[in-house]
Amino acid sequence: MGDLLAAVETPLPAAGVSGGGTGKIGGGGGTNAARISEVKSWLMAQFEAVGREVPDLEYTPRSVAHLHAIASLSQARTRAASIVASDLRQKASEYRSQAVRLREILESVGLAQERLSADAIESAQVIASVANLLNIRDTEMSSFVLAMGDLSLRRDEVEEKRVKIQKESKVLLGYTRKAITKLNELKKTLLKFENEVATQEAQMDQWQTNLAIMDSKERQYKTQNCNYEAVLKRVGYSSDINHGVLMEMAEQKKDLEKKTKPILETLRSYQDLPPDKALAALAIEEKKRQYAAAEKYLEDVLHSALNAAE
pLDDT band for 211, please (50, 70, 90 cuts).
Answer: very high
DSSP per residue, 19-39: -----SS----HHHHHHHHHH
Residues 274/233, Cβ–Cβ less than 8 Å: no
Residues 294/256, Cβ–Cβ less than 8 Å: yes
CA 76 to CA 84: how far, in whole Å?
A: 12
Q: What is the pLDDT of residues 35-79, one digit of tens each?
A: 888 888 888 888 888 888 888 888 888 888 888 899 899 989 999
Shortest CA distance to 151 belongs to which of 138, 140, 129, 136?
Answer: 136
Q: What is the pLDDT of residues 176-189, one digit of tens each?
A: 999 999 999 999 99
- Domain boundaries in the chain? 2-111, 196-236, 243-309
Residues 294/255, Cβ–Cβ less than 8 Å: no
CA 244 to CA 308: how far, in whole Å?
A: 11
The torsion angle over the Cα atoms of residues 82, 83, 87 and 92, rounded to 10 degrees, is: 0
pLDDT average, residue stretch 111-128: 78
Residues 126/139, Cβ–Cβ less than 8 Å: no
Q: What is the pLDDT of residues 276-306, one digit of tens each?
A: 667 667 777 887 888 888 888 877 777 776 6
pLDDT at 140: 78
141: left (phi over 0), alpha (psi -120 to 50) or beta: alpha
Q: What's the whole-number average pLDDT of the chain?
A: 80
Q: What is the pLDDT of residues 251-273, one digit of tens each?
A: 888 888 888 888 777 777 666 55
CA 139 to CA 129: how far, in whole Å?
A: 10
Question: Given a cut of 80, is residue 18 above it in pLDDT?
Answer: no
Shortest CA distance to 283 belongs to which of 266, 258, 295?
Answer: 266
SS3 241: coil
pLDDT at 119: 83
Amino acid, single-letter form, for residue 7: A
Residues 6 or more apart from 136 whose CB is under 8 A from it? Answer: 143, 144, 146, 147
Rounded alpha-carbon distances, angstroms, from residue 170 to 156, 175, 178: 21, 9, 12
